[in-house]
Amino acid sequence: MRELSILLKYLGFSIFQETGQAAQASNSRRFGRRDGKRRGTKNRAMQYITILLLSSLPMAIFVFVSNYKVYSTLTRFPQVAGVFFNTTISMFSLFYIVGFIGTGMYSFSRTDEIELLLTLPIKTSTLTIYSLLISLSSQLFTLSFFVGSALGYMFGVHVPALSFILRTLLQLYFITSLSALFSVLGGGMSSKSLVRKLNVFMTLALVFVYFGFTYVEGINVEELGENANIVRWLSFTNSKYNILSWAYSDSNILVALTVVLSISITVLFWYMSNKVAFENVQRKYKKQNSEVMKKQSYASLFGGFVWKDLKLLVRNEQFIFLLLYPFVFGIFMMFVSASSISSIMPFVVIAVFYCAMEAGMLTSSEMQSKELLFTLPVKRSAMILPKITIPVLINIALFLLIDVIALLFNKFDKVALIFIPISILLFALSAFIGAYYSITKPGKAKRQPFSNTATFIIEGITIGLAFAILFPITMLFETPNLKNWQEITCWLVMVGSIIASILLSYFYYRKLKKVIEVE
Amino acid sequence: MIRAVGLTKKFGDFIAVDGINLNVNQGEVFGFLGPNGAGKTTTIKMLTGTLKPTAGSIEILGMDMKNYPIEIKRRIGVAPDEPRIYEHLKGYEFLEFIISIYKLDKTEMKVKIEELCDAFEVDYLDKLAGEMSHGMRQKLMLISVLMRKPEVLFMDEPTVGLDAKSAKILKELLMKYAREGTTVFMTTHILEIAEKMCDRIAIINKGQIIAEASVSELKEKYRASLEDIFLSLTATNDIKDIVDSL
């Protein structure tokens, strides 16, 4: 127990928390006290869990409230409520298992960190529990949705509380033991990058489930209850073959089977973890250099820096999130609202900030290798240009894609065309600001492009201006019978903000140019 | 080939390099020695155009660094002490990036890459740089420099992180390149390497060059081994006293 608490205190859940010499060096450089006194070491695991709980708690409360409302109106249709509950719980269980296994396969493999820990006098069983906790912590977000949804059902449908809580605990135990077994069996088949990507997709999936709940909450559930199609459509989740709903089954045999299975899997997991956890796995076939070098490359075609930056974009899970989130959110808004304007506005407001993040990430990645960069026979402007153009062009492309999708679904509004030049201006401004602050005010951690102060400045400028331009346009074109003073105010705010955006773009362009020459 | 006059670098009040003069000829292997923090890396950074000098002038291959930084960089090769390679690129992608930036002939380079990979036993070109060890990245960096066979080579602690065989190959290769006309400017803490490889050496301490001559000239002048000469010129405390106190 002592060993475990030491591991948690000093290493935390280090797949997700930046550790290692680079982070420590950067922290000591930035926060080193000149008087030589040292602050006490904070518990890294507690810090991570606290942040995670604080961020997931509001979501869990919302999921609980929305589910409670839905189930309260479905009390007269217990079969529909049951099907809906089985569907959501199976979905969350699946998210949990996939996410857990992804992280678990990495944490049970022989990573550099485990290599070091194995040289220390720490029991393997402690390392096994530590790895399990790492995997478990990665799923707290999913877990909060799961619990919120389950409690919503319990209070909404008025099922016997004790039995339901026990079934929920059984379900959690079952999916955890199952995931742990698969993790230990697949140990070494995952990578840190894959785990992070998987988490991004899981988070995105959960975010859209959350949006889904907000949508479902607004529809007439009474009508839904009378519609038998929904029951037929989702009834597969009620099937006795759906192992993920056995713990909640009316059949005592299935519940008992879940208990037996869970215990057996736990025993098997413990046995297997002693056999195979943290062992070297057979590496995949190593390719010959000649074979590797034969691969078709577009480095020369696109210019070295553009090609290199595109590679970073494809391989970095944060990028994938930053691009997918506003896009999918825009699409979602389009389907739940009347026109494409309703989807374009939230898309642009979110994407302008993310565009700054993308430019900042590309620039900070370059700056991390500046010792190499400065030896290359290229002008600094050639290096910085892709950091600006790539995020701007991709976000514009996503903007146009949303418009095309809107057109295909007859939701296109011509007013969206006015947003195009404005978006280009806003994205360019964001990219300049992002690149500038990633050099002048870099973040503490390697993966954080800006400091917290810079993040607030960037958010204020980009989101503030996007809102100040787009909201008046929406008002002018979408709100009928605007009063004269309202119309004048809209025009003044919009034109003033456009002028401010142009001036700020020029200002940050000059500052960026200056700073890259000095660096 | 390499000429520096009154080269100075100040960081605030701290003078890292204090008005040094350097003159390295074509085909020469020049060793730049000094204790930690003496100003070796700062000097190399200025000579390779990655750090602007506070004062003084630099001429490489007959071109002034202030006026022709890009042309100079195209013709020199730099292996920094810390091989910071873009972590998200795979080994072969990094080499292709270099080929693209220097606008080199791809077919010709691929042959050289394979030869160098065989020599340094590099069989991990398909691996991401972020997943490589220091030694692996060091070898990759060396391949990216040596494949171009530049006219002037700047090597900051080139053997650090290399296994014995790779270090030996590198040393022999640098000597061969020097015989073929390449100028090599290298820093090292391993005095044996300096003694065996370098035609001339300079010792820098506290930003100033305190000795500059061939190894044989230095040995003759001080009548001691290179190690003793180096320590007598740079060490402030008696080593025996330090060891005894530990």
Q: Which residues of A touch B117 (CB under 8 A)?
A: 289
Classified as helix, coil or strand, B76 is: strand
* CA–CA distance, A152 with A148 (Å, rounded to integer): 6
Helix A44-73 vs helix A140-157: angle between axes, to the nearest 10 degrees?
30
pLDDT, tens only, B69-95: 999 999 999 998 888 898 889 899 899
- The reply to whether residue A299 touches residue B96, judged by beta carbons under 8 angstroms, is yes
Kindly determine whether residue A289 and residue B48, on different chains, have CB atoms separated by under 8 Å. Answer: no
Q: Find the CATH number of the domain harbouring B222.
A: 3.40.50.300
Residue B105 C-alpha, separation from nearest chain A C-alpha, in angstroms: 10
Determine the pLDDT at residue A23. Answer: 41
* Sign of the four-CA dihedral A108, A112, A117, A119: positive
Contacts of B97 in chain A (CB under 8 A): 299, 304, 307-308
- Are A289 and B114 a contacting pair at CB < 8 A? yes
Q: Supply angle C-alpha A421, A424, A512, rounded to 5.
A: 140
CB-CB neighbors (< 8 A) of A376 in chain B: 73, 101
Cα(A412)–Cα(A406) distance, integer angstroms: 5
CA–CA min distance B122, chain A (Å): 8
> Which chain A residues are closer than 8 Å to B114 by Cβ?
289-290, 293
Q: Which residues of B touch A315 (CB under 8 A)?
A: 88, 128
User: Tell me, what's the pLDDT at A81?
Assistant: 82
Would you tell me how many other CB atoms lie within 10 Å of the CB of residue A186? Answer: 18
Q: What is the pTM of this model?
A: 0.75
Chain B contact for A308 (CB, 8 A cutoff) = yes
Residues of chain A neighbouring B101 (CB-CB closer than 8 A): 304-305, 376-378
State both tokens at A154: 């319990």
Cα(A491)–Cα(A497) distance, rounded to whole angstroms?
A: 10
B 56-115 near A (Cβ less than 8 A): 70-71, 73-74, 78, 80, 82-89, 91-93, 96-103, 106, 110, 113-114
Residues 354-373, chain A: which have Cβ within 8 Å of B?
365, 368-372
Q: What is the ipTM of this complex?
A: 0.85
Q: How many residues does chain A have?
A: 519
Nearest to A378 among B84, B101, B113 (CB): B101
pLDDT of residue A130: 85
Query: B222 is in which domain, residue-wise?
Result: 2-245
pLDDT of residue A273: 79
CB contact under 8 Å between A365 and B88, yes or no, is yes
Looking at residue A220, its pLDDT comes to 59
* Cβ contact B93–A297 (<8 Å): yes
**What's residue B228's pLDDT?**
86
- Whether residues A311 and B71 touch (CB distance < 8 A) is answered with no
Residues from chain B that touch A292, judged by Cβ atoms under 8 A, are 91-92, 125-126
pLDDT < 70 regions, chain B: 236-237
* pLDDT for the residue numbered A98: 84
Interacting residues of B99 by C-beta distance below 8 A, sequence separation 6+: A299, A300, B106, B109
Best A308, A385, A447 member to test B by mutation, with max B CBs in 10 Å, is A308
Cβ distance A59 to A145 under 8 Å? Answer: yes
- Residue among B51, B85, B123 minimizing CB distance to A286: B123
Q: What is the DSSP string of A162-224?
A: HHHHHHHHHHHHHHHHHHHHHHHHTTTS--HHHHHHHHHHHHHHHHHHHHHHHHHHHS-HHHH
Interchain pair B97, A375: CB under 8 A? no
Q: Which of A372, A374, A376 sits opposite B85 (nearest CB)?
A: A372
In chain B, residues with a C-beta closer than 8 Å to the C-beta of A519 are: none
Instruction: Kindly give the interhelix angle for A380-408 and A317-336, rounded to the nearest 10 degrees.
Output: 30
By CA distance, what is A301's nearest residue in B? B100
Give pLDDT, residue A19: 43
Task: Establish if A414 touches chain B: CB-CB under 8 angstroms.
Answer: no
Subunit contact B97:A299, Cβ cutoff 8 A? yes
CA-nearest residue to A302 within chain B is: B100
Contact B122 A289 (CB under 8 A): yes
**Is the separation of the CB atoms in B122 and B140 below 8 Å?**
yes
Residues of B in contact with A368 (CB under 8 A): 84, 87
Q: What are phi and psi of B78, to 5 degrees?
A: -125, 125
Asked if A21 has any chain B CB less than 8 Å from its own CB, the reply is no
Contacts of A18 in chain B (CB under 8 A): none
Instruction: Out of B71, B82, B93, name the one closest to residue A311 (CB).
Output: B93
Neighboring chain A residues of B84 at a CB cutoff of 8 Å: 368-372
Spans of chain A below 70 pLDDT: 14-41, 112, 188-192, 210-211, 213-237, 276-277, 279-287, 290, 296-302, 338-340, 519
Instruction: For residue A454, give every residue at least 6 positions away whose Cβ sits within 8 Å of its Cβ, in sequence order, or none.
Output: A437, A440, A441, A443
Q: Do A286 and B126 touch (CB under 8 A)?
A: yes
Bridge-partner residues for B78, per DSSP? B154
Q: How many separate domains does chain B show? A: 1
Give the residue from chain A lying closest to B85, CA to CA.
A369
Distance in Å, alpha carbon of A302 to nearest chain B alpha carbon = 9
